[in-house]
Amino acid sequence: MADIGGIAADALRAYIERIERLEEEKTAIAADIREIYAEAKGNGFDPKIMRQVYRLRKMDRADFEEQEYLLEVYKRALGMDHALGEDVPGAAPAGVAPAGAGPVDSGDGDAPEEATG
């Protein structure tokens, strides 16, 4: 190993090369994930909401509950505590899913129906 200025150049090079390989893998994985979101979008799902659900699923229960509580507090403070679909500009009528919402489960045990809207 060649020491240059007290640094083991070969060891440093090996670390950098390992990092470079992992960064290449990370880039490829990120592209794969983007493809999955694009596929889901093509099937009527909203990628923005999917990302939000993914983020929530990663949270531990205490953090999730705290975030939900604070969200409700903030919404009430801003006068946004009304029921979904009532006096909300741009909200879909009750029973009608917003455009791009994906399949709708009617709760009757049958397969989900395509969203209307």
pLDDT score recorded for residue 114: 52
pLDDT score recorded for residue 117: 45
**Alpha helices of the chain — where are they, by DSSP H?**
9-42, 47-58, 61-77
- Looking at residues 17-35, what average pLDDT do you find? 98
Give the tens place of pLDDT for each residue, 69-116: 999 999 999 999 775 555 555 545 545 555 555 555 555 555 555 554
Tell me the two tokens of residue 93. Answer: 């009528």
pTM of the model: 0.56
Closest CA to 71 of 62, 81, 61: 81
> How do strand 3-4 and strand 7-8 relate by DSSP bridges?
antiparallel
